[in-house]
Structure 1
Amino acid sequence: MIIRFVILCALFLFIEFYSYQAIRTLIKLRWVLVSYQIISLLLLIFIIYSFSQVDRSVGQTKQFMFTTGLMLLIYVPKIVITLVLLGEDVFRLGAGAVNYFVENSNETNILPSRRKFISQIGLGLAAVPFLSLIYGIFEGKYNYKVIKQTIFFPDLPEAFDGFKITQISDVHSGSFDNPEKISYAVDLINEQEADMILFTGDIVNTHATEMHPWLETFNKIKSYKYGKFSVLGNHDYGEYVTWPSEKEKDENFHAIKELYNQIGFKLLLNEHTFIQKGDDRIALVGVENWGKNFKKAGDLNKASQHVDQNDFKVLMSHDPSHWEYEIKNHPKNFHLTLSGHTHGMQFGIEIPGYFKWSLAQYIYKQWAGLYEEVGRYVYVNRGFGFHAYPGRVGIMPEITVIELKKGNNVA
């Protein structure tokens, strides 16, 4: 623990050193440079102190989110500056080596001076994540997007041709701080014409009480002809805090499961139900959380025990790694899986239909949007809420509307 702390402090100081070099190259006023050093030191002390005061029995708090946002706001731009100036130093060292070994320079300082325009480039590039992170905190986290996706299946029952499903995921109600924006998002959900709504987990960060101020708002989600269903996410198990006793942990878990019922959703716990339309039906299967690196409570075989291989199946599973490791090659043939969990890391670049990038893609093979292998699909919702970093940059909160169509093409 002490070694990690020392390494972390050394990394922060390394970043601070290079950031200061950029400022010093551009500004020569001593009082400005001293002020910069003092402010940087005070902010670093505050961040380290604030994180050291995190209470494992409480979990994520507003203070924790504020500190996380502040740390990213300060150090992501400084990391950009560091990378730019570090690149310049590699060049300077190379040039110095040439001066010394090749040209046999007799000068005392063989290293070229740091160039002003390189520092300007570093600061200019750093302004991009700085301004983006500010936008993400004040606007991006509530910039809801309705994403519509049509998926074709050759074996979709005739009666379900054109059947629409609204999906929400990763509400993380304990992070909310703006009732007006959440009411707007619920209105946006209600504006979508769909036959059924599915909620793929993480109603809270940890504690059931986080959702209590928002029950009335989420109870305004309208009724759907074919129902409102949900599954649990990894945060719904309350496993990221230290509990005084197993009894209190179990009581919280029971209360979280009740939250879904309190907002009108039928919680599927490793079970299924059939959705009947005319003479046709589809199976809706819901598993508890199963993640490669998280809780493995999902039991796919139990959930689909009385579902026939030939039944058309929609599966709700919170973590998309479940699809990668168990679902896509399962003999029961799960046609469409709906997941969430990744949030798209709440930070990335996305140009719909053309390009998307996030650090999430280096952790999850399926991290945002629609994916297909051997005729089986998983859709990963980017999440309704936010967690840890109190914002979203590039990867916006999502309400998904999926239309099932009979056919062989994907639109």
Structure 2
Amino acid sequence: MMTRLIVFFAVVSVTLTLLIVYVTRRASWAARLGDRKSRVAAGAMTAVVLSPFLMRATGLESPDVVKLVVAQVGFALGLTVLISAGLLLPFDLLGAIARRITRWRAKPDETKAAEPAAVETPPSPTITRREMLSRAYVAGAVGVGASTAIYGVAFGRRDYVVEQVPIPLRGLPRTLDGYTIVQLSDVHVGTFIGERELAAAIDLVRGARPDLVVMTGDLVDHDPRYADLLGRFARRLGELGARDGVVAIPGNHDYYAGIDDVLGSLRAAGTRVLRNDAITIGDRGGRFALLGVDDVWAPRNGFGRGADLPATIARAERDAPRVLLCHNPEFFPEAAPHVDLQLSGHTHGGQVNFVVRPADLVLPHGYIAGHYVRDGAQIYVNRGFGTAGPPARVGAPPEVSRIVLTSA
């Protein structure tokens, strides 16, 4: 696990450094700064952008307010670089191809006699229209990158949405028609999700009037010191009075933070934790089975057996509709033949979606956000409430899901 983290941070650091150098050189050219100023700017930006990663990788202790400021500034600059680079690289690539074609077309016929070398003339102090437009594009790209990053960090990550999700569930008894499950996922309690954000979550859940509250993993970001804050949050959720209480499952970040601390705080708060286990919701007048599996990635990260669906189903009531809680939606193809509905998170809906949604390109299962159907089963993927990595959201607002079950 430690080796994997070291490799990850090394790759991220090298990639970000190269992109910072590229973007600052292009921005310096557009602003007509000299090479020395460009190098100074690149060095300063690299130090600021990598600071949050180095603090986490080395475990460097610092006051929370310092950590918050450093991380917000560093991630905002890093996001500015990523978005700017995404706009500049295609532009520069197309420009290089166009220049290559132009030179190829202007190449003299090799059969002609060599002409005397032309006398070089000093460059004109004025710039051409093409160069002016190029400088304007570079400046605009950096401006768009910076403004998008600032919006995502300052506003987007708190642009909370309650999604109304009607789900017709096959086999659901009429007596449970309208049963409301409120789903929270990927809260990531930590540096960026504290009392202020959790108070907003409580208000949103209260307004959704749940019969059951479920939390589908990644509840603590990575620091076990925040497990107590999660426990206080879970207790407040329980005090909202949902008739079937609060149920939670773990996610991969809960293992990174320390699974015993995270789950211990939940249980102490009265939350029912399902790890390859099942309970029955309802009574003789109507019921469904609520299943919860362990994190799919747990074995990959050296943390036990992970999701065990057969063992979970064996603990569920027979002949009742099955609602599965599973943090990672990549499990859905395996679960679909055996459940009626799966509730997941993990993807954050891509979290930062500028022009395109990169998650569509890197997640092969394709379950990124929202409602999907496979083999007659359904899955709803919650975009998450908090953030991982950059404390920003663009095009993927933080979500509380209000899932209303109806008789199919």
TM surpasses 0.5: yes
- How far off is 1:268 after superposition? 1.0
> Which residue of 2 is the match for residue 362 of structure 1?
362
> Which residue of 1 is the match for residue 348 of structure 2?
343
> Which residue of 2 is the match for residue 327 of structure 1?
335
The answer as to whether partners of 1:202 and 1:236 remain within 8 angstroms in 2 is: yes
Change (3 A) 1:238 1:19: closer
Determine whether 1:87 maps to 2:94. yes
Distance of 1:148 and 1:75 partners within structure 2: 33
Change (3 A) 1:75 1:362: closer
* SS of alignment partner, residue 276 of structure 1: strand
The residue correspondences of 1:48-87 to structure 2 (distance < 5 A) are 48=50, 51-52=53-54, 54-55=56-57, 62=68, 63=70, 66-87=73-94
The residue correspondences of 1:272-291 to structure 2 (distance < 5 A) are 272-291=278-297
**Worse overlay, 217-226 or 140-149:** 217-226
Q: Deviations over 1:279-301 (max 9, x none)?
A: 22100111111149666511111
* SS of alignment partner, residue 237 of structure 1: helix
- How far off is 1:116 after superposition? 2.2
> Which residue of 2 is the match for residue 38 of structure 1?
40
What amino acid maps onto 2:393 in structure 1?
R
The residue correspondences of 1:301-316 to structure 2 (distance < 5 A) are 301-307=310-316, 310-316=319-325
Instruction: Give me the TM-score of the superposition, normalised by structure 1.
Output: 0.80
What amino acid maps onto 1:265 in structure 2?
T
Percent pairwise identity: 24
* SS of alignment partner, residue 220 of structure 1: helix
Change (3 A) 1:22 1:40: closer
Determine whether 1:238 maps to 2:246. no
Q: Between Structure 1 and Structure 2, how many residues are aligned?
A: 380
- How far off is 1:139 after superposition? 1.2
The answer as to whether partners of 1:361 and 1:367 remain within 8 angstroms in 2 is: no
Change (3 A) 1:90 1:102: farther
> Which residue of 2 is the match for residue 392 of structure 1?
393
The answer as to whether partners of 1:22 and 1:85 remain within 8 angstroms in 2 is: no
**Worse overlay, 160-169 or 116-125:** 116-125
The answer as to whether partners of 1:88 and 1:118 remain within 8 angstroms in 2 is: no
> Which residue of 1 is the match for residue 383 of structure 2?
382
Q: Deviations over 1:126-149 (max 9, x none)?
A: 433321111111111121110011
Distance of 1:20 and 1:197 partners within structure 2: 50
Q: Which runs of 5+ in 2 are unaligned?
A: 1-5, 121-126
Distance of 1:202 and 1:5 partners within structure 2: 24
What amino acid maps onto 1:73 in structure 2?
T
Distance of 2:87 and 2:220 partners within structure 1: 34
Distance of 1:275 and 1:7 partners within structure 2: 45
The answer as to whether partners of 2:234 and 2:271 remain within 8 angstroms in 1 is: no
Query: RMSD value over aligned CA atoms?
Result: 3.5
Distance of 1:80 and 1:379 partners within structure 2: 32
From 184, 187, 198, the counterpart of 2:200: 184
Determine whether 1:260 maps to 2:266. yes
Determine whether 1:196 maps to 2:218. no
Determine whether 1:124 maps to 2:140. yes
Q: Deviations over 1:91-138 (max 9, x none)?
A: 1121111111479897799xx986321332233234333211111111
Distance of 2:10 and 2:109 partners within structure 1: 43
Change (3 A) 1:307 1:7: closer
What amino acid maps onto 1:43 in structure 2?
M
